[in-house]
């Protein structure tokens, strides 16, 4: 039977696909895989060879399209027995290769796309939670829960990310100060471990696997189902931006606002973020629509501190029932803040439109061919005690005025982060996310921005600012050990227990996959 590698069929049954798989992986027949759809189409293999970061190139022998957890388990079991790597891919939005496979002999398991089972999102109204297939996107989760007037409470800024993907990192946004990251808002998971076993886990049941997988960078298992907490969905959002030219005042206000976590909703904002404006280009560019023509900002007139401005971004959710008191609640909160009085910008929009705001930016960038480009992002958790030093050394120091993307900055409370999860955060009770979300349109810019990232990291190291990377990227064993610090021993133990053959998510190169020296 001739194998036609160059056909128009999207999916080739393994009965056929096993041939190139055998060649590429060097396997004998893998009977477990017989009715799991595998594709070896070149276009497909190329599509899974990059992630959103576009910073490294992957290789794959085949792409699997499982529709059920059992099928995922079958693929991973085969990988475990035959010792080839497998990486789960949701929407492929990893920056540093979590969705990729570097070795030519691996299989990418596509969790999104067509093949998912029909009941991939189930809302439990009474229980106030939703059960979701790991490959589902948060935008899809939101649409499904809104049908019941419910919604998850902790978000990412961008909703075209898979549930399994964000939960294996943390999932952070302006709600994190109050609700914790997305991983704090999960009741239960179904996970296919690196041994190909399908395990249900929670705080009370297989707890070690549950905590390992949350923030585990895909190293311990593939999330096939997540049970996510819900709240009554707000209808609308009042979205406010105010400017600061003084960094100390900006931080004081952000820290004050996040100290209101856990207060009744009337007495706090629902979302606290912020961003740094180092060049006028930014304000006239991608976020221009917010600073409306009717209320133009003369940036140069604001007497920026070392040429740098800081924008606090806050929101308040509301619905018909509490619309009347909204203005008063907002004014009494704003009264406590110390921003530039003439710099208040307000928008009002439906809840979904607010949550889905980055998608609007995506469509604009896509239309100009500025989306599918390398993203040398640097995301740092900076301890509160050193954020002023960071400002001086980085925003007012290292950064040129060509940042090539937004720079987000906002604090969060460590007590909302479960210390049993695999994610690593700084020691202090309050730490900031500083996110350099850069796009590199040409190789010179990529070089320039990557070099700037290295300089920032070196500055932090030299000044002993104990930052932790979010969506971490390292190239050596020593760096990964340093990253995990106190948690390294546990991370290794969890790896030996749940993925002893080190076949999962090899693209980040935390463990060097080498089947010859392995075991
Ligand atoms: C590439 C790009 C990222 C364009 C806009 N963004 C973002 N904007 C605002 N917050 C974000 C973000 N990406 C993550 N968070």
Task: Pick the catalytic residue from 273, 305, 329, 391.
Answer: 273
Provide, rounded to the nearest whole percent, the portion of the chain with pLDDT above 90.
83
Q: Tell me if 406 CB under 6 Å of ligand 1.
A: yes
Judgement on whether residues 368 and 415 belong to the same structural domain of the protein: yes
Q: Which helix (H) or strand (E) holds 277?
A: strand 271-277
CA of 477 to the centre of ligand 1 (A): 30
Judgement on whether residues 255 and 218 belong to the same structural domain of the protein: no
Q: Tell me if 498 CB under 6 Å of ligand 1.
A: no
Residue whose token pair is 């036609």: 4
Judgement on whether residues 270 and 350 belong to the same structural domain of the protein: yes
**Number of domain units in the chain:** 3
Give the pLDDT confidence score for residue 302 in this predicted structure.
Answer: 64
**Could you tell me if residue 518 is inside a domain?**
no
Judgement on whether residues 459 and 320 belong to the same structural domain of the protein: yes
> Looking at the predicted structure, is the pLDDT value of residue 78 above 80?
yes
**Could you tell me if residue 493 is inside a domain?**
no
**Could you tell me if residue 519 is inside a domain?**
no
**Could you tell me if residue 477 is inside a domain?**
no
| Burial of 320: CB neighbours in 10 Å, binned 0-12, 13-18, 19+ | exposed
Q: Is 93 noted as a catalytic residue in this protein?
A: yes
CA of 157 to the centre of ligand 1 (A): 7
Judgement on whether residues 406 and 438 belong to the same structural domain of the protein: yes
CA of 406 to the centre of ligand 1 (A): 7
**Could you tell me if residue 460 is inside a domain?**
yes
Q: Tell me if 108 CB under 6 Å of ligand 1.
A: no
The CATH number given to whatever domain includes residue 178 is 3.30.465.10
Give the pLDDT confidence score for residue 28 in this predicted structure.
Answer: 41
Judgement on whether residues 240 and 227 belong to the same structural domain of the protein: no
Containing domain of residue 58, as a range? 2-113+503-508
What Cα–Cα distance (Å) separates residue 431 from each residue in 171, 339, 379, 410, 416? 16, 21, 13, 8, 12
**Could you tell me if residue 196 is inside a domain?**
yes
**Could you tell me if residue 323 is inside a domain?**
yes
Per residue in 217-236, pLDDT (tens digit) is 999 999 999 999 999 999 99
- pTM comes to 0.92
Judgement on whether residues 253 and 217 belong to the same structural domain of the protein: no
**Can you give 114-135 as a three-state secondary structure string?**
CCCCCCCEEEECCCCEEEEECC
pLDDT bucket at 31, cuts 50 / 70 / 90 = low
Give the pLDDT confidence score for residue 183 in this predicted structure.
Answer: 99
Per residue in 474-483, pLDDT (tens digit) is 999 999 999 9
Pick from 216, 232, 248: which residue ends a domain? 232
| Burial of 93: CB neighbours in 10 Å, binned 0-12, 13-18, 19+ | buried
Pick from 232, 263, 292: which residue ends a domain? 232
Judgement on whether residues 439 and 362 belong to the same structural domain of the protein: yes
Q: Is 255 noted as a catalytic residue in this protein?
A: no
Per residue in 89-113, pLDDT (tens digit) is 999 999 999 999 988 899 999 999 7
CA of 118 to the centre of ligand 1 (A): 31
Judgement on whether residues 207 and 255 belong to the same structural domain of the protein: no
**Could you tell me if residue 489 is inside a domain?**
no
Sign (positive or negative) of CA dihedral 262, 266, 267, 269: positive
Judgement on whether residues 339 and 421 belong to the same structural domain of the protein: yes
């Amino acid at each position: 039977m001739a194998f036609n590698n160059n056909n128009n069929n999207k999916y080739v049954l393994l009965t056929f696909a096993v041939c190139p798989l055998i060649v590429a992986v060097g396997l004998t027949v893998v009977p477990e895989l017989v009715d799991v759809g595998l594709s070896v189409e070149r276009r497909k293999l190329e599509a899974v060879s990059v992630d959103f970061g576009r910073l490294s190139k992957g290789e794959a022998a085949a792409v699997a399209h499982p529709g059920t957890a059992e099928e995922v388990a079958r693929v991973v079991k085969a990988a475990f027995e035959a010792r080839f790597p497998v990486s789960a891919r949701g929407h492929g939005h990893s920056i540093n290769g979590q969705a990729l496979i570097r070795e030519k002999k691996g299989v990418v398991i596509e969790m999104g796309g067509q093949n998912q089972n029909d009941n991939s999102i189930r809302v439990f109204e009474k229980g106030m939670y939703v059960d979701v297939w790991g490959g589902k996107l948060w935008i899809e989760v939101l649409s499904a829960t809104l049908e019941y007037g419910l919604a998850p409470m902790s978000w990412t800024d961008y909703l075209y990310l898979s549930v399994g993907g964000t939960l294996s990192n943390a999932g952070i946004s302006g709600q994190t100060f109050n609700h914790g990251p997305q991983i704090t808002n999960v009741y239960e998971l179904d996970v296919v471990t690196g041994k190909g076993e399908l395990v249900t886990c929670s705080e009370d049941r297989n707890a070690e696997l549950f905590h390992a997988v949350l923030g585990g960078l895909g190293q311990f298992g593939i999330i096939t189902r997540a049970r996510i907490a819900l709240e009554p969905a707000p209808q609308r959002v009042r979205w406010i931006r105010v400017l600061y030219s003084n960094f100390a005042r900006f931080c004081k206000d952000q820290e004050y606002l996040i100290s209101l976590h856990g207060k009744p909703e009337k007495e706090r904002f629902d979302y606290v973020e912020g961003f740094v404006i180092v060049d006028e280009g930014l304000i006239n560019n991608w976020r221009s629509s917010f600073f409306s023509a009717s209320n133009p900002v003369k940036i140069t007139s604001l007497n920026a501190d070392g040429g740098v401005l800081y924008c606090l971004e806050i929101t308040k959710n509301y619905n018909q029932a509490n619309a009347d008191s909204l203005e008063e609640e907002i004014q009494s909160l704003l009264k406590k803040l110390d921003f530039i009085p003439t710099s208040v910008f307000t928008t009002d929009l439906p809840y979904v439109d607010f949550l889905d705001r980055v998608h609007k930016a995506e469509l604009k960038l896509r239309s100009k061919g500025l989306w599918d480009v390398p993203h040398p992002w640097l995301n740092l958790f900076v301890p509160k005690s050193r954020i002023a030093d960071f400002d001086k050394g980085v925003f007012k120091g290292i950064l040129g005025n060509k940042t090539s993307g937004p720079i987000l900055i906002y604090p969060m409370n460590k007590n909302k982060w479960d210390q049993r999860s695999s994610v690593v955060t700084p020691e202090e009770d309050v730490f900031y996310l500083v996110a350099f979300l850069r796009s590199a349109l040409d190789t010179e810019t990529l070089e320039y921005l990557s070099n700037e990232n290295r300089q920032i990291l070196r500055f932090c190291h030299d000044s002993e600012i104990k930052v932790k990377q979010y969506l971490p990227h390292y190239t050596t064993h020593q760096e990964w050990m340093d990253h995990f610090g106190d948690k390294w021993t546990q991370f290794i133990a969890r790896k030996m227990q749940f993925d002893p053959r080190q076949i999962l998510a090899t693209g980040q190169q935390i463990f060097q996959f080498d089947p010859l020296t392995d075991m």
